[in-house]
C-alpha cells in the first residue's frame, strides 16, 4: 500500500492499523506519539542508569537517578555520581518545562530497547508552527498559481528538443503539478492565513520545516540553571546526549512510500549514476543549504565532462606525436654519444644521455604544444564555471523562493555567552563591595542575558587567542615545509644508496626514488589532513566567535589554509624550485655540507611533477574521500551497536523491534558540510592549478565525482541522522575561495609553462637559434660543457671508468631561464587573465527568464493584495447599502450584529493562532 501524495498522517496511520493490525504498523512506530495523532518533530536523548549499572525502566515517567548509581564512563562512584546525575536531571526537567511554556508538547520514553538511553519526543502544534513561521519569516506558497510562459524563439525550441532527448536522464520523482505552473509565495503571516491553502494543515508545514522550527525554539530557550544557554550548551555539558529530527521512514519497506525512500531509489543509488540529481527533492528533505551543496557538486561534475574530453584529446595528441618529437628522437638515437656529468657526488658516475630516452618520451606526453592550449582552456573553463554557477544559483533562489531572503543575525553561541558572563562576573568582583558582589554574582547566574547585553568580547579580550592562532598557524605551515624538506633528503640519500648497489638497480633509480617519495608524501598528507583539521577547530574555539556563522567561516578559512599548504607544498617545490637551486659542476649547492641539491631529469621536472600530482590526487580521492567515507561511518555505527548491546540482534529483527527514533539513534551525527566542500575545493585546485603537467586530472576528477555524488547521497540518506534544515541563498565563503583558486590558477599555469616546461625554450630556439627553423640541435643547444678536472677535491666520482673509458669533458643542462623568458610569459598570460574577465563580464549573473518571472511575481503579488482590499471594501459597502433601506432602529441592530460577528470572528482567529 502506497501513501497518497498528501494524506493526513494520523488518518493513514489509523487506516494501516485497521487494514493490517499485525503488519506494516511498525513502519510508523516512533514517528508519532502514543496516541498516533501527533507527529514527532524532534527527539532529544539522554543517558540514564540505575543501581548496578543497568537501564532504568520507568515506564515513561520521569524519575531522578538513584544516589547509589555509578557512572562507568566517568569512573566516579557513590555520592559524587549521584549529585552529578541529579544536577543533569534537574536541568533536563527545567529545560523541558521551558519548552512546554513555549507551547511544545513532549512525551518521554525511558522504557526503550536501547539499554541506558531515554528519549524525549517533541511535537510542535499548529499554533506554535504558525507563530514561529511568522517569526522566522518563512515564505510559504499561497493559493494563487500562475503559468510561467516561455518565449518561442529558436533557442527555446532547441532547448525544448534537447530537454526531450535528455528525458531518460531525469529521475522518476513524482511531481504534483506541471513544471510551468508555480505557486505565488509570500512570507507567512497569521493575519493573512486566508491567502494560503490550509485545507490540510498536516501537510502545510512539511517535516523539514517542522524540524527547523523546533530546533530554532531549542536554540533560544534558556534556563535559570547556571550556564544553561540553549540546547547547544546542554549537549556540550552532557545533559542531553543527542538531538535530531527524525527521518521520514524506512527505505527498505515496500509498503511505505516517503521522500526518504524515493531519494534512496532515485538518488542514493549507484545504479542511477547516469541520471541527474533530484535537487528539488533533496532541498525539500534536507533544506536549502544541503540542496545548494549537491547542486554545486552536480554542476561542477557536469562541467568536468568537456574539460575531461579536451584533456584526453591533449594526452592522445602527445601519444600520437611522441615518435615525431625531434628532441626525444635525438636523445634516444643509438648514435648519441653525449656523456653527462654525475647526478651525485662520489657514488654516482658519468652516464649516457641516451639512457634518459624513456623519461624524455614520457615527458612529451605532458609537455607539448597542446598542453599550453589546454592550460589556457582550463583557465577560461574555471571562469566559465564560476559564472555558470552564479546563474544556476540565482535560478535555484527563484525556484526555492529565496530571492528576498537575507541571512538573519544568528543567536550568540553558548560558549560566547559563557565567556561574556565570566567577564562580567570578574568585573563585578573587582569593582563592588563583598555584599554587592554576591548579589551581582547571583544576578549573573540567574539572569545572564542582562549582563550579556551590556558586555561583549573585545579585541583585547581575544588578543591571547589571536596570538596563539598566528603562532600555531605559522608552526603548522613550518611543519609542512619541514616534512617536504625531509622528503627531499630522503630522495637525495636514497638515490645515492641505490647508485651504490647493483647495475640493474641503477637503471631504475630515478623511477624508484620518484615513486616512493610521492607515496611517502601522500601518506604524510593524509595524516596531516586529520591533524590540521583538529588543530583548526581548536584554534577557532579559542577565538570564541560570537555566532555560528562566524565560527564556521573562521574554521573554514584556517582549515583551507593548512590543508592547501599540506597538499600543494610538495607540488610547488617540484614545479618551481627543484633543479633551480643546484648550482653547476664544480660549484654545487649543498645542504648540511654533504647533501647536494637534486636535479631534474633531462626531460625536465614536468614528468616528476606529473607523478607527484597524480599519486597525490588519486590517493586522496581513493583513500581519503572514498575509503574513509565508506569505512569510518560503518565502523562507528558498529561500535555504537556493540556498546549499546545491540550487536546480537539480527538486522531484520532489530529493524522490526526498534522504533524510528531508536533506529535513528544509531546513525552517525551530521558534522556539517565543511569536509565535503573541503575535499572538492582541494580537488578543484588539482584540476586547475597544475593542469599543464597532468591533462588527465579532469578525467580522474570526473570519475571520482560520479562516485562521490552517490556516495554522499547514500551517506546522507542511510548513514547519517537527518540534519536540521538550514536556509541559505548561496554557498557562502566557499564561492570566494573558489574564485581565488580560479584566479591563482592562471598565474600558476603560466609559471609551470614558463619555468617547468621546455615549451618556451623550444619556441625560442626554433625561431631564433635554429639554422633551418626546426628543432634539430635543440638538445645540444641546452647542454653546457664541463672539464672534469675542475671538480672539487673529494667530490669527483669513485668510478671514473664506469663507461669503459676515461671522461675528460661532461655535459650538464644549464639553459633554463633565458633573459627574454619573463617578458614573453607575462604578456601572454596577461591576455589569458583579461579573457577570463571578459567571460565574467559577458555572462549576466541573473538569467533573463528568471528576471522576467521575478518582475511578474511582484506584479501578481501587488494585484493579489489589491483584490483583497477591494473585496473588503465591496463587502462593507454592500452591507452599508442594505442597512440604509431599513429604519434607524433596525440599522442599529444590524450594525451591532455585524460588530458582534466581527469581534467573534476575530476571537476565533485569535484562538486558532
Identify the pLDDT of residue 912: 32
Return the exposure string of 132-160: e unless at least 16 CB atoms fall within 10 Å of the residue's CB, then b. bbbeeebbbbbebeeeeeeeeeeeeeeee
Query: Is the predicted pLDDT of residue 95 greater than 80, yes or no?
Result: yes
821: pLDDT confidence band, cut at 50, 70 and 90?
Answer: very low
816: pLDDT confidence band, cut at 50, 70 and 90?
Answer: very low
Query: Is the predicted pLDDT of residue 680 greater than 70, yes or no?
Result: yes
Query: Is the predicted pLDDT of residue 97 greater than 60, yes or no?
Result: yes
Whose cell is 630515478? That residue is 510
Q: CA 573 to CA 569: how far, in whole Å?
A: 6
Q: Which residue has the higher pLDDT, 481 or 821?
A: 481
Identify the pLDDT of residue 9: 45
Shortest CA distance to 798 belongs to which of 191, 350, 357, 375? 350
Query: Is the predicted pLDDT of residue 666 greater than 80, yes or no?
Result: yes
Identify the pLDDT of residue 149: 63
Return the axis-axis angle of helices 509-543 and 459-499, rounded to nearest 10°: 170
743: pLDDT confidence band, cut at 50, 70 and 90?
Answer: confident
Q: CA 23 to CA 272: how far, in whole Å?
A: 31
Per-residue pLDDT averaged across 728-743, rounded? 88
Q: CA 56 to CA 65: how far, in whole Å?
A: 8
Q: Indicate the burial class of 126 (C-beta count within 10 angstroms; 0-12, 13-18, 19 or more).
A: middle
Asked if residues 562 and 536 have their Cβ atoms less than 8 Å apart, the reply is yes
pLDDT digit string (tens) for 188-237? Answer: 888 888 888 888 888 888 888 999 999 989 888 877 654 456 787 788 77
pLDDT digit string (tens) for 390-446? Answer: 888 888 888 888 877 666 656 777 777 777 777 777 776 666 654 444 454 444 444
- Beta strands 181-187 and 117-123 are unpaired
Identify the pLDDT of residue 876: 61
Query: Where is average pLDDT lowest: 333-342, 448-457, 459-468?
Result: 448-457
Query: Is the predicted pLDDT of residue 559 greater than 70, yes or no?
Result: yes
Q: Which of 129-143, 252-266, 343-357, 619-633 has the highest mean pLDDT?
A: 129-143
Query: Where is average pLDDT lowest: 520-529, 779-788, 807-816?
Result: 807-816
Identify the pLDDT of residue 668: 86
pTM of the model: 0.79
φ and ψ at 813, to 5 degrees? -85, 125
Query: Is the predicted pLDDT of residue 341 greater than 70, yes or no?
Result: yes
Shortest CA distance to 178 belongs to which of 149, 200, 199? 149
Query: Is the predicted pLDDT of residue 484 greater than 70, yes or no?
Result: yes
Q: Which residue has the higher pLDDT, 871 or 532?
A: 532
Per-residue pLDDT averaged across 470-479, rounded? 92
Q: Which residue has the higher pLDDT, 53 or 774?
A: 774
For residue 417, give the C-alpha cell: 555567552
Per-residue pLDDT averaged across 724-743, rounded? 88
Per-residue pLDDT averaged across 491-520, rounded? 73
pLDDT digit string (tens) for 684-699? Answer: 998 988 887 888 899 9
Q: Which of 426-435, 656-665, 754-763, 860-869 has the highest mean pLDDT?
A: 656-665
Per-residue pLDDT averaged across 667-685, rounded? 89
Shortest CA distance to 835 belongs to which of 207, 189, 383, 209? 383
pLDDT digit string (tens) for 242-299? Answer: 999 999 878 876 666 788 888 998 898 888 888 889 998 999 999 999 999 999 999 9
Query: Where is average pLDDT lowest: 317-321, 481-485, 626-630?
Result: 626-630
φ and ψ at 716, to 5 degrees? -70, -35
Chain-wide mean pLDDT for the chain? 75
Q: CA 294 to CA 309: how far, in whole Å?
A: 23
Task: Provide the 3-class DSSP secondary structure of residue 182.
Answer: strand
Query: Where is average pLDDT lowest: 348-362, 535-549, 589-603?
Result: 589-603
Q: Which of 67-76, 453-462, 548-557 has the highest mean pLDDT?
A: 548-557
Per-residue pLDDT averaged across 549-553, rounded? 87
Query: Is the predicted pLDDT of residue 27 greater than 60, yes or no?
Result: no
Q: Which residue has the higher pLDDT, 870 or 258?
A: 258
Q: CA 373 to CA 618: how far, in whole Å?
A: 24
Q: CA 288 to CA 279: how far, in whole Å?
A: 10
Identify the pLDDT of residue 437: 47
Per-residue pLDDT averaged across 87-103, rounded? 87
User: What is the CB-side half-sphere exposure of residue 742 using CA atoms within 13 A?
Assistant: 23
Return the exposure string of 61-91: e unless at least 16 CB atoms fall within 10 Å of the residue's CB, then b. eeebbeeebbbeeeeeeeeebbebbeebbeb
Asked if residues 510 and 359 have their Cβ atoms less than 8 Å apart, the reply is yes
Shortest CA distance to 714 belongs to which of 244, 269, 257? 269
45: pLDDT confidence band, cut at 50, 70 and 90?
Answer: very high
Query: Where is average pLDDT lowest: 33-37, 424-428, 489-493?
Result: 424-428
Q: CA 145 to CA 198: how far, in whole Å?
A: 15
Q: Which residues pair with 340 in a beta bridge?
A: 351, 811
- Beta strands 590-591 and 42-47 are unpaired
Q: Which residues pair with 47 in a beta bridge?
A: 117
Q: Which residue has the higher pLDDT, 209 or 888?
A: 209
Distances in Å between the Cα of 12 and the Cα atoms of 5, 203, 219 are: 11, 13, 32
Query: Is the predicted pLDDT of residue 239 greater than 80, yes or no?
Result: yes
Number of Cβ within 10 Å of residue 481's Cβ equals: 12
Identify the pLDDT of residue 827: 44
120: pLDDT confidence band, cut at 50, 70 and 90?
Answer: very high
Identify the pLDDT of residue 874: 61
Asked if residues 468 and 542 have their Cβ atoms less than 8 Å apart, the reply is yes
pLDDT cut 70: percent of the chain above it: 70
817: pLDDT confidence band, cut at 50, 70 and 90?
Answer: very low
366: pLDDT confidence band, cut at 50, 70 and 90?
Answer: confident
pLDDT digit string (tens) for 605-640? Answer: 777 888 888 888 888 888 776 677 777 767 776 776
Identify the pLDDT of residue 430: 66
φ and ψ at 196, to 5 degrees? -105, 155
Number of Cβ within 10 Å of residue 540's Cβ equals: 22
Per-residue pLDDT averaged across 327-342, rounded? 83
Identify the pLDDT of residue 73: 36
Query: Is the predicted pLDDT of residue 35 greater than 70, yes or no?
Result: yes
Q: CA 133 to CA 891: how far, in whole Å?
A: 42
Q: Which residue has the higher pLDDT, 330 or 655?
A: 330
473: pLDDT confidence band, cut at 50, 70 and 90?
Answer: very high
For residue 146, give the C-alpha cell: 500562475
Q: CA 465 to CA 857: how far, in whole Å?
A: 49
Q: Where would I find the H helices in 47-204?
A: 79-101, 126-135, 154-165, 201-204
Per-residue pLDDT averaged across 663-680, rounded? 88
Q: Which residue has the higher pLDDT, 902 or 414?
A: 414
Identify the pLDDT of residue 479: 92
Asked if residues 788 and 842 have their Cβ atoms less than 8 Å apart, the reply is no
187: pLDDT confidence band, cut at 50, 70 and 90?
Answer: confident
pLDDT digit string (tens) for 531-543? Answer: 998 999 999 988 8
Amino acid at each position: 500500500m502506497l501513501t497518497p501524495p498528501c494524506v493526513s498522517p494520523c488518518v493513514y496511520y489509523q487506516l494501516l492499523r485497521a487494514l493490517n493490525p499485525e503488519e506494516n504498523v511498525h513502519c510508523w512506530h516512533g514517528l508519532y506519539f502514543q496516541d498516533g495523532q501527533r507527529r514527532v518533530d524532534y527527539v532529544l536523548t539522554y543517558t540514564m542508569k540505575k543501581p548496578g549499572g543497568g537501564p532504568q525502566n520507568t515506564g515513561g515517567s520521569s524519575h531522578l537517578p538513584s544516589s547509589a548509581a555509578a557512572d562507568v564512563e566517568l569512573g566516579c562512584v557513590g555520592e559524587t555520581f549521584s549529585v552529578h546525575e541529579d544536577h543533569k536531571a534537574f536541568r533536563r526537567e527545567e529545560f523541558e518545562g521551558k519548552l512546554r511554556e513555549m507551547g511544545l508538547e513532549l512525551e518521554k520514553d525511558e522504557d526503550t530497547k536501547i539499554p541506558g538511553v531515554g528519549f524525549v519526543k517533541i511535537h510542535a502544534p499548529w499554533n506554535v508552527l504558525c507563530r514561529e513561521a511568522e517569526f522566522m519569516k518563512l515564505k510559504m506558497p499561497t493559493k494563487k498559481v500562475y503559468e510561467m510562459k516561455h518565449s518561442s524563439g529558436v533557442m527555446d525550441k532547441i532547448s525544448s528538443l534537447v530537454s526531450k532527448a535528455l528525458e531518460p536522464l531525469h529521475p522518476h520523482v513524482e511531481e504534483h503539478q506541471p513544471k510551468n505552473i508555480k505557486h505565488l509565495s509570500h512570507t507567512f503571516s497569521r493575519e493573512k492565513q486566508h491567502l494560503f491553502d490550509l485545507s490540510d494543515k498536516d501537510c502545510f508545514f512539511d517535516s523539514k520545516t517542522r524540524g527547523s522550527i523546533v530546533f530554532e525554539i531549542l536554540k533560544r530557550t534558556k534556563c535559570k540553571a547556571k550556564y544553561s544557554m540553549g540546547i547547544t550548551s546542554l549537549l556540550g555539558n552532557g545533559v542531553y546526549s543527542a538531538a535530531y529530527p527524525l527521518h521520514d521512514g524506512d527505505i527498505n519497506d515496500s509498503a511505505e512510500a516517503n521522500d526518504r525512500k524515493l531519494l534512496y531509489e532515485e538518488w542514493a543509488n549507484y545504479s542511477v549514476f547516469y541520471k541527474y540529481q533530484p535537487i528539488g527533492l533533496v532541498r525539500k528533505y534536507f533544506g536549502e543549504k544541503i540542496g545548494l551543496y549537491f547542486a554545486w557538486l552536480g554542476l561542477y561534475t557536469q562541467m568536468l565532462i568537456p574539460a575531461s574530453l579536451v584533456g584526453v584529446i591533449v594526452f592522445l595528441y602527445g601519444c600520437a606525436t611522441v615518435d615525431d618529437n625531434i628532441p626525444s628522437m635525438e636523445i634516444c638515437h643509438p648514435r648519441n654519444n653525449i656523456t653527462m656529468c654525475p647526478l651525485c657526488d662520489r657514488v654516482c658516475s658519468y652516464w649516457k644521455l641516451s639512457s634518459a630516452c624513456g623519461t624524455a618520451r614520457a615527458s612529451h606526453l605532458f609537455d607539448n604544444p597542446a598542453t599550453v592550449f589546454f592550460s589556457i582552456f582550463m583557465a577560461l573553463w574555471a571562469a566559465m564555471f564560476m559564472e555558470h554557477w552564479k546563474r544556476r544559483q540565482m535560478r535555484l533562489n527563484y525556484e526555492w523562493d529565496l530571492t528576498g531572503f537575507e541571512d538573519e543575525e544568528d543567536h550568540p553561541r553558548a560558549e560566547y555567552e559563557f565567556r561574556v558572563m565570566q567577564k562580567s562576573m570578574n568585573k563585578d568582583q573587582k569593582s563592588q563591595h563583598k555584599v554587592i558582589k554576591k548579589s551581582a554574582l547571583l544576578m549573573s547566574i540567574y539572569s545572564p542575558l542582562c549582563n550579556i547585553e551590556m558586555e561583549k568580547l573585545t579585541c583585547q579580550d581575544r588578543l591571547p587567542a589571536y596570538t596563539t592562532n598566528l603562532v600555531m598557524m605559522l608552526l603548522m605551515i613550518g611543519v609542512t615545509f619541514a616534512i617536504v624538506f625531509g622528503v627531499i633528503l630522503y630522495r637525495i640519500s636514497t638515490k645515492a644508496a641505490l647508485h651504490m648497489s647493483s647495475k640493474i638497480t641503477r637503471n631504475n633509480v630515478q623511477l624508484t626514488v620518484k615513486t616512493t617519495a610521492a607515496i611517502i608524501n601522500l601518506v604524510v598528507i593524509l595524516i596531516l589532513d586529520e591533524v590540521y583539521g583538529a588543530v583548526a577547530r581548536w584554534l577557532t574555539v579559542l577565538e570564541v566567535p560570537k555566532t555560528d556563522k562566524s565560527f564556521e567561516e573562521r574554521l573554514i578559512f584556517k582549515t583551507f589554509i593548512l590543508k592547501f599548504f599540506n597538499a600543494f607544498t610538495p607540488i610547488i617545490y617540484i614545479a618551481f624550485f627543484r633543479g633551480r637551486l643546484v648550482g653547476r659542476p664544480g660549484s654545487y649547492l649543498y645542504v648540511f655540507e654533504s647533501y647536494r641539491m637534486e636535479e631534474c631529469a633531462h626531460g625536465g621536472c614536468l614528468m616528476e611533477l606529473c607523478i607527484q600530482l597524480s599519486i597525490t590526487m588519486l590517493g586522496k580521492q581513493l583513500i581519503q574521500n572514498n575509503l574513509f567515507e565508506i569505512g569510518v561511518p560503518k565502523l562507528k555505527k558498529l561500535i555504537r551497536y556493540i556498546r549499546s548491546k545491540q550487536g546480537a540482534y539480527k538486522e531484520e529483527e532489530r529493524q522490526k523491534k526498534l522504533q524510528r527514533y531508536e533506529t535513528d539513534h544509531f546513525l552517525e551525527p551530521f558534522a556539517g558540510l565543511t569536509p565535503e566542500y573541503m575535499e572538492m575545493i582541494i580537488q578543484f585546485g588539482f584540476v586547475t592549478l597544475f593542469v599543464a603537467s597532468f591533462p588527465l586530472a579532469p578525467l580522474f576528477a570526473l570519475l571520482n565525482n560520479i562516485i562521490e555524488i552517490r556516495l554522499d547521497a547514500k551517506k546522507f540518506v542511510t548513514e547519517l541522522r537527518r540534519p536540521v534544515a538550514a536556509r541559505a541563498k548561496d554557498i557562502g565563503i566557499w564561492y570566494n575561495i573558489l574564485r581565488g583558486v580560479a584566479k591563482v590558477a592562471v598565474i600558476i599555469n603560466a609559471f609551470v609553462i614558463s619555468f617547468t616546461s621546455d615549451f618556451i625554450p623550444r619556441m625560442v630556439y626554433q625561431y631564433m637559434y635554429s639554422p633551418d627553423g626546426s628543432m634539430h640541435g635543440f638538445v645540444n643547444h641546452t647542454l653546457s660543457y664541463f672539464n672534469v678536472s675542475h671538480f672539487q677535491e673529494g667530490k669527483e666520482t669513485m668510478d671514473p671508468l664506469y663507461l669503459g673509458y676515461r671522461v675528460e669533458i661532461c655535459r650538464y643542462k644549464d639553459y633554463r631561464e633565458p633573459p627574454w623568458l619573463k617578458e614573453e610569459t607575462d604578456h601572454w598570460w596577461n591576455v589569458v587573465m583579461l579573457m577570463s574577465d571578459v567571460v565574467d563580464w559577458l555572462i549576466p549573473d541573473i538569467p533573463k527568464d528568471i528576471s522576467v518571472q521575478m518582475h511578474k511575481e511582484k506584479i501578481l503579488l501587488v494585484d493579489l493584495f489589491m483584490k483583497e482590499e477591494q473585496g473588503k471594501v465591496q463587502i462593507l459597502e454592500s452591507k452599508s447599502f442594505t442597512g440604509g433601506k431599513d429604519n434607524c432602529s433596525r440599522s442599529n441592530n444590524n450594525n451591532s450584529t455585524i460588530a458582534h460577528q466581527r469581534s467573534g470572528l476575530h476571537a476565533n482567529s485569535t484562538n486558532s493562532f
